Structure 1
Amino acid sequence: MDILNFLFHLFMFFPVIYTLQNSCQSSWCSENNILIRFPFRLEVEGDQGNPYCGYPGFELSCTNDSRTILTLPYSGVFYVRDIDYLRQYIQVYDPHRCLLNRLLSLNLSGSPFVTGFLTNFTLLSCSSPNIGSQFIPVDCLSNSTHFVSVFPSLSFTNSLPQSCYVIGNLSVPVDSSYQDFFLNNQVSEDFELTWSKPNCRYCELQDGLCGFKSRNSDQVRCFSNHQTNHQTGHSDDDLLISRIIILCVGGTALLFAIGTGCLARYSRRRTISDEPAITITRMGVGLDESTIESFGKIVLGESRRLPGVEHNDGTCCCPICLSEYNSKDIIRCIPECRHCFHAHCIDEWLRMNTTCPICRNSASPHFQ
């Protein structure tokens, strides 16, 4: 029955695996959009989903027009441009197309993200545009009377135009080797955030899938990548066939174990129920062998006449087997009633009964 219980729980575990795989499948805000999978998790409005499928702080959501959103606790909403799971960075941009304004108050506290590289820039406000080629205008911060520009802090000199003043300095998450690209693209709308925990780089290199070791653990491990999605190109049919095979094998094993267990239990019940009956019949109901052997035996002579007045009526056959007595037959008589029988017939009778088969009086001297 231990095998039966093991197979039963093993079989019942397959649907749990199936459910977990389905509930943690990759998702998108729209078809051919950014792939969302562990450590990220997609939250749908009104449905927080399964927290087991994503690492804390990596929650994403979707806009009404199917854009992917990252919300930082102290810096608000950013749109997601791309996620690189191998390099572990997420590329985001400002929905209002004014990244520098957002960077002035960027605060990554309470999130798992950090900036990969920081390059210092200086913001300058002037009363007139086109003050110099080294100054890159920032249109989203400018108006009709104040024109805001940005330039690398390393290029800062104290000799500024009289119509300009420094608004402030800020650290932009961009490698200094890319600062020219950042500036020449009108202060790029995108910047990158990276994370160190959980570290799934090795798993990604093995073409695996990162995930929690268990529901109650905050440690991650690498699983074989059997998940079906458009990015990996794995077939839904292959996954479905594998699950069907597992369920069929498990179901067959379970049914076989149930049948074997029921048969073993039925046999055990028969053994238990039959054994007491034999014991009672042979030991509790009939006479014991020593009492039976105490009853005298004789060998019939040629006249085949039985002893005692009870048989003077010319009885010629055994009342038990109904066979005629023959000379030299061994006869046993019950002392209490003096009825006689073939010895082997009455011995078998008395092993199962305590009364005479003719008069039904007790054959045991202990009950007289």
Structure 2
Amino acid sequence: MNFLNFFFHLFILFPVMYTLENSCQNSWCSENNILIRFPFLLEAEGDQEYPYCGYPGFELSCTNDSRTILTLPYSEVFYVREIDYLRQYIQVYDPHHCLPNRLLSLNLSGSPFVTRFLTNYTLLSCSTPNIGSQFIPVDCLSNSTHFVSVIPSLSFTNSLPESCFIVRNLSVPSDSSYQDFFLNNQISEDFELTWSSPNCRYCELQDDMCGFESRNSDQVRCFSNQQTNHQTGHSKDDLLISRIIILCVGGTALLCAIGTGCLACYSRGRTISDEPAININITRMGVGLDESTIESFEKIVLGESRRLPGVEHNDGTGCCPICLSEYNSKDIIRCIPECRHCFHAHCIDEWLRINTTCPICRNSPSPHFP
């Protein structure tokens, strides 16, 4: 049994586990879309099969129209515009194209992301439009009676037009490459989030892949393309072919091991008894004992010790000379009275129906037969 376990772990379990360990794949919501790889992971893939292919909190998903979305714990969803793995930032935008409204309730707690830069603005509501060139309208928050606009807080003075009042101050994430979050009197739809953990910048600089050290580890390391296919661009067909080859080789080895084990068990059963092996053909046609004579022979039920009557095989390790199976407790045994040789009841009954002699000593168990 230990022999079979060794082959199972060596040729079946180990290759399958190795394949799973190295089966992380690049993902896209659609062709030529945003590349998704570690630390990011598509939720549908991570939940079902390979959760270790992404870092906690970096789950992305796809819309029905193949857009990539990021769901923040307390701020609902944002669409993803770009992911920069070297600089470690993700550029997102509001799917409803009203980013100021989303920023009013932006909450990044519970996520691994932080804003890169913050610029302070003041949000105003006025009863008339076009109150000044420094006021930038926010059309998506305005209606026919209230016109919402923003102004950089540094440019804001305490004097307000009579038709306006302050809604609130707003801290806006912005990119350092912008002179201002607002360009050409229009509000940018995008803003950037960054992360510090996991830090994969070194791997990206080396043109290597970043990932967990192992399936059960929370430490990350770099993987070269020659070392492993972890998060590489290998197709799923290549992975499937590799699995088939591994399973075929392992399966063949396992079948050989099973055959060897069965042969060993059979040889052990043949040598348990000191008597020479008996070549029995219980299907041979002939005239044996009648049922009443057979039933007159003693039947016993083996106890836990599995000891048989008589001096032979009384150590509890014997086997039936007819079927070569070991005796077990509660087996029903029938013994021939003249020679005291014992067998499984169903085995010796079939034998005596077509034979008139004991299968071991060849003596007749009935005086009616020579």
Secondary structure in 1 matching 2:186: coil
Deviations 1:50-83 (Å, cap 9, x if unpaired)?
3222111111111111111111111111111111
8 Å Cα contact 1:173-1:191 kept in structure 2: yes
- For the pair 1:25 / 2:25, whether they are aligned, the reply is yes
Instruction: Say whether the 8 Å CA contact 2:11–2:249 is kept in structure 1.
Output: no
User: 1:99-149 CA distances to partner (integer Å, 9 max, x unpaired)?
Assistant: 000001101111111111111111111111111221111110111111111
1:182 paired to 2:182: yes
Could you list the runs of 5+ residues in structure 1 that have no partner in the other structure?
274-368
TM-score when scaled to structure 1? 0.60
Q: 1:250 to 1:202 in 2, by over 3 A?
A: farther
After TM superposition, the structure 1 = structure 2 runs for residues 98-137 of structure 1, keeping only pairs within 5 Å, are: 98-137=98-137
Higher helix share: 1
Matches within 5 A, 1:1-368: 9-12=9-12, 13-22=14-23, 24-44=24-44, 48-50=47-49, 51-175=51-175, 178-180=178-180, 182-184=182-184, 186-225=186-225, 227=229
Larger radius of gyration: 1
Distance 1:18 1:201, change over 3 A: same
**Alignment partners' CA distance in 2, 1:175 and 1:228:** 32
Letter of the 2:19 partner, please give it: Y
> Does the 8 Å CA contact 1:116/1:173 hold for their aligned counterparts?
yes
Structure 1 pair 43/241, CA: closer, same or farther in 2 (3 Å)?
Answer: closer
Residue 361 (structure 2) aligns with: none
CA distance in structure 2 between the aligned counterparts of 1:25 and 1:185, rounded to whole angstroms: 43
Q: Distance in 1 between matches of 2:215 and 2:18?
A: 12
**Is this contact kept in 1: 2:80–2:90, CA < 8 A?**
yes
Deviation, 1:28, is 1.2
**Cα distance, 1:42–1:78 mapped onto 2, change above 3 Å:** same
Taking structure 1 as reference, are residues 121 and 160 closer, same or farther at Cα in structure 2, changes over 3 Å only?
same
| Identity across the alignment (%) | 80
Q: Encode CA deviations 1:292-336: one digit per residue, 9 max, x unaligned.
A: xxxxxxxxxxxxxxxxxxxxxxxxxxxxxxxxxxxxxxxxxxxxx
Looking at structure 2, the residues matched to 52 and 115 of structure 1 have their Cα atoms a distance apart, in angstroms, of 26
Cα distance in 2 for partners of 1:71, 1:240 equals 32
Higher relative contact order (CA 8 A, sep 6+): 2
Amino acid at match of 1:149: S
TM-score, with length taken from structure 2 = 0.60
Cα distance in 2 for partners of 1:31, 1:154 equals 45
What letter matches 2:98 in structure 1? C
Cα distance change of structure 1 residues 183 and 152 upon mapping to structure 2, 3 Å threshold: farther
8 Å CA contact 2:25–2:233 kept in 1: the answer is no
CA contact (8 A) 2:22 2:230 kept: no
Counterpart for residue 347 of structure 2: none
> Residue 191 of structure 1 aligns to a residue in which SS?
strand
**Cα distance 1:237–1:55, how it changes in 2: closer, same or farther (>3 A)?**
closer
> Which letter does structure 2 place at the counterpart of 1:17?
Y
| Unaligned segments of structure 2, at least 5 residues | 272-370
Distance between the aligned counterparts of 2:25 and 2:156, measured in 1?
51
Q: 1:106 to 1:216 in 2, by over 3 A?
A: same
Q: Compared with structure 1, are the counterparts of its residues 77 and 209 closer, same or farther at alpha carbon in structure 2 (3 Å cutoff)? A: same
RMSD over aligned Cα atoms: 3.9
Query: Are 1:44 and 1:62, in contact at CA under 8 Å, matched by a contact in 2?
Result: no
C-alpha change, 1:30 and 1:228, in structure 2 (3 Å) is farther
- Give the CA deviation at 1:164: 1.6
